[in-house]
Structures are given as structure tokens and as C-alpha cells.
């Protein structure tokens, strides 16, 4: 039985396979409409979510399966003090697979150690978000036709942005990747991302506070929101929240085939005027997120079309 807690739980070959399945689902959705008939997905979300929870649920419905859902910690026994381990054992009696989002780093890992069914990490605190990474990799592969030889800029809250941590980790396994880290000094990537991921894998990277100076070299610009809920005080959030706001003007020096990505939700870091720019990919990511989760659910449940 396999779970997905960290993107490194999947080999690059398995990621390729998921991307191929996802592309086939887009081409031939009918082929997949019944493959999870009789199976149940439990979504256990102890933190806010729109896309991740609904995309998991839509994915399971489109595979012909069913969904059980806890959509806020306050409405479940977690509010009575139940442990993640006990919740995982309990839900294993009702469902075939769990997708869990939790404010505490490591909670989905604890769930996977106690569940008797596969557990998918749907975001744990400021740590990891491997299914957003699958979404991002599918999007990059569809937009660029490759996952190697790319200069990828990450801009915004690189400290608390879990989607950033997981995507950097995934990209570190491909060749010819250059990472450009753009953030205020206070919001640089955690030390372990530099030492255990970038340095360890010999990845070429630079850190800067200046988006405009690096814009011309980027193939991908991955914008992120400042993660208000992970700040210790509101003053720091208010001071940092508008550090980077992408406007059409700022894209003048960008490559004609730049891909602008964002895991969403957007607050104000990308001007709405950019949404119609053909380089904007964030709503394509939303669509791809549902498709790649269909492929992932099939893989972990070991069902085939
Ligand atoms: C992200 C998350 O939850 O980490 N959202 C998502 O799942 N698409 C990004 C964010 O909240 O800023």
C-alpha cells in the first residue's frame, strides 16, 4: 500500500507515468468514468481550501467513485481532542483512500503510519504540498513540452509557501534546471531547502529581492501569496504583503513564451489585467489539478482503465 506524503515518494519515472495518464484522461475522459466505481475517498481538511478539496472530490466523482468529507476541523472530533492517529484508524474503516490537509507539519505522515488505506498529503502547514506539485509538473510539461532545461523563478513568500518547497524538491531531480529565488529577506526559503535540496543536488540557484533584474531570463515565473495565516504577527504581514505585485508593465522585459504560474488563491500579487495574457497559466493549473489527482487516485488504489 502506497501513500503520497512527500513528492520524493514518487520516482521521476512514476511522475512521468502520472503525466501520461493525465494527458490520456484529458484526451479520453470516458475511458476513466467507471474505474473507481464502489470506492470511497475521504477528504479530511483541517485548514481552509477551495481548489484542493474540490479538485480531489471532483476527481473521485469523475472516476465513478464516491466521497466522504470533513471540511473543517471544527466540525469533526478533532475539535474534541481526537489525535490524528485515531482519526486515521477510524476513517480507514469507512473509506478506501484519504486526502488530508492539516495545519501541523507532519500530520499526514502520522496519519499514513496509522491508516490501513493510502493517505495523500493535501498540504501540511508550511511544509509540503505534493499534489500541487503534480499539478505544476503537469502544467509545465503541457506548456513547455519538457521538465528539464528550464529557468524557474519563484517569487513571494518562499519561507512559508509549501507549494514552493515541494516544487523545488521535484525540480531538483531534472537536468539543466536553474532556480531563481525572489523574495524579501525575511521570506527566503528555509535553510533545509538550500542545504538538503539545492546544494545536495548541485542545483544552480540564485537569491534576489529584485524581480525585474531577473525577469528576462525566466522560462517560468511561479508567483505566490504571502501566507498570512503562518505569520506570528499582523504587522510583519502588513509590511510584507505587497512586496511583489505583477502588472502588465513588469512583463515587458519577459520572454514571449514565459509561463506565469500561481497555485492560487491570489490575493493581489498578480494584477487581474494579466489574466488575459496568453502567458498566464494559473487557471490552466486549476484544471490540470483535477486531472492529475484522478491519475494519482487510480495509481494509489491500483485501478486501471
Ligand atoms: C496553496 C496552499 O494551500 O498551499 N493553495 C493550493 O492548494 N492551491 C497556496 C496558498 O494557499 O497560497
**Tens digit of pLDDT for each residue in 82-119?**
999 999 999 999 999 999 999 999 999 999 999 999 99
| 51 touches ligand 1 (CB under 6 Å) | yes
Q: Please indicate, yes or no, whether residues 151 and 220 belong to a single structural domain of this protein.
A: yes
- Among 107, 1, 2, 126, residue whose Cα is nearest residue 44: 107
Q: Please indicate, yes or no, whether residues 263 and 295 belong to a single structural domain of this protein.
A: no
- The whole-number average pLDDT for the span 62-75 is 88
Q: Has 175 been annotated as catalytic? A: no
The catalytic residue among 39, 53, 101, 127 is: 101
- The whole-number average pLDDT for the span 167-176 is 98
Q: For a pocket test of ligand 1, which of 226, 228, 265 has the largest count of ligand atoms closer than 8 A to its C-beta?
A: 265
Q: Please indicate, yes or no, whether residues 123 and 90 belong to a single structural domain of this protein.
A: yes
Q: How many CA atoms lie within 13 A of 298 on its CB side?
A: 27
What phi, psi does 29 have (nearest 5°)?
A: -60, -30
104 within 8 A of 124, measured Cβ to Cβ: yes
Q: Please indicate, yes or no, whether residues 225 and 121 belong to a single structural domain of this protein.
A: no
Q: Which atom of ligand 1 is nearest to the CA of 264?
A: 8
Cα 179 to ligand 1 centre (Å): 20
Q: Has 162 been annotated as catalytic? A: no
pLDDT at 77: 84
Residue 1 within a domain: no
Helix 12-27 vs helix 282-301: crossing angle, to nearest 10: 110
Q: Please indicate, yes or no, whether residues 152 and 70 belong to a single structural domain of this protein.
A: no
Domain count for the chain: 2
Q: Has 80 been annotated as catalytic? A: yes
Q: Please indicate, yes or no, whether residues 12 and 45 belong to a single structural domain of this protein.
A: yes
Q: Please indicate, yes or no, whether residues 151 and 113 belong to a single structural domain of this protein.
A: no
Q: Please indicate, yes or no, whether residues 22 and 112 belong to a single structural domain of this protein.
A: yes
pLDDT at 210: 98
Q: Has 129 been annotated as catalytic? A: yes
Q: For atom 7 of ligand 1, which residue has the closest CA? A: 52
Q: Please indicate, yes or no, whether residues 280 and 146 belong to a single structural domain of this protein.
A: yes
- The whole-number average pLDDT for the span 177-201 is 98
Residue 35 within a domain: yes
- The whole-number average pLDDT for the span 157-183 is 98
pLDDT at 81: 87
Q: Please indicate, yes or no, whether residues 124 and 228 belong to a single structural domain of this protein.
A: no
Residue 242 within a domain: yes
Q: Report d(CA 290, CA 293) in Å as an integer.
A: 5
Residue 46 within a domain: yes
pTM: 0.97
Most distant CA atoms of the chain, gap in Å: 55
pLDDT at 71: 76
Q: Please indicate, yes or no, whether residues 263 and 134 belong to a single structural domain of this protein.
A: yes
Say whether the peptide bond before residue 53 is cis (omega within 30 degrees of 0): no
Residue ranges in the chain assigned as alpha helix (H): 12-27, 51-62, 84-91, 107-114, 130-144, 162-171, 191-192, 211-214, 234-240, 282-301
Q: Report d(CA 150, CA 153) in Å as an integer.
A: 10
- The whole-number average pLDDT for the span 131-158 is 98
DSSP class of residue 247 equals -
- Among 88, 30, 40, 83, residue whose Cα is nearest residue 60: 40
β-bridge mates for residue 120, sequence order: 4, 99
Residue 2 within a domain: no
Q: Which atom of ligand 1 is nearest to the CA of 162?
A: 4
Q: Please indicate, yes or no, whether residues 296 and 187 belong to a single structural domain of this protein.
A: no
| 264 touches ligand 1 (CB under 6 Å) | yes
Cα 123 to ligand 1 centre (Å): 8
**CATH code of the domain in which 190 resides:** 3.40.50.1370
Residue 267 within a domain: yes
Per the structure, the complete domain to which residue 193 belongs is given by 130-285
β-bridge mates for residue 222, sequence order: 154, 261
Amino acid at each position: 500500500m502506497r501513500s503520497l506524503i512527500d513528492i520524493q515518494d514518487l520516482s521521476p519515472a512514476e511522475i512521468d507515468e502520472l503525466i501520461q495518464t493525465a494527458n490520456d484522461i484529458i484526451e479520453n475522459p470516458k475511458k476513466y468514468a467507471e474505474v473507481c466505481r464502489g470506492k470511497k475517498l475521504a477528504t479530511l481538511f483541517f485548514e481552509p481550501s477551495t481548489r484542493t478539496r474540490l479538485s480531489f472530490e471532483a476527481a473521485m466523482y469523475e472516476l465513478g467513485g464516491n466521497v466522504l468529507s470533513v471540511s473543517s476541523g471544527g466540525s469533526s472530533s478533532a475539535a474534541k481532542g481526537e489525535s490524528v492517529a485515531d482519526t486515521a484508524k477510524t476513517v480507514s474503516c469507512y473509506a478506501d483512500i484519504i486526502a488530508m490537509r492539516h495545519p501541523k507539519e507532519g500530520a499526514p505522515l502520522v496519519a499514513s503510519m496509522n491508516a490501513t488505506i493510502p493517505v495523500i498529503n493535501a498540504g501540511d502547514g508550511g511544509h509540503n504540498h505534493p499534489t500541487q506539485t503534480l499539478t505544476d509538473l503537469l502544467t509545465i510539461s503541457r506548456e513547455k513540452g519538457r521538465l528539464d532545461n528550464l529557468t524557474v523563478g519563484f517569487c513571494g513568500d518562499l519561507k512559508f509557501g509549501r507549494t514552493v518547497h515541494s516544487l523545488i524538491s521535484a525540480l531538483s531531480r531534472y537536468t539543466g534546471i536553474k532556480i531563481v529565488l525572489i523574495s524579501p529577506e525575511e521570506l527566503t526559503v528555509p535553510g533545509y531547502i538550500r542545504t538538503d535540496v539545492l546544494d545536495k543536488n548541485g542545483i544552480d540557484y540564485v537569491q534576489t529581492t529584485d524581480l525585474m533584474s531577473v525577469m528576462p531570463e525566466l522560462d517560468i515565473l511561479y508567483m505566490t501569496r504571502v501566507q498570512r495565516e503562518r505569520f506570528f504577527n499582523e504587522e510583519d504581514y502588513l509590511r510584507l504583503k505587497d512586496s511583489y505585485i505583477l502588472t502588465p508593465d513588469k512583463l515587458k522585459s519577459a520572454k514571449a513564451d514565459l509561463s506565469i504560474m500561481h497555485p492560487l488563491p491570489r490575493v493581489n500579487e498578480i494584477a487581474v489585467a494579466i489574466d488575459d495574457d496568453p502567458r498566464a497559466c494559473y487557471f490552466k493549473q486549476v484544471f490540470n489539478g483535477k486531472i492529475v489527482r484522478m491519475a494519482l487516485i487510480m495509481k494509489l488504489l491500483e485501478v486501471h482503465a
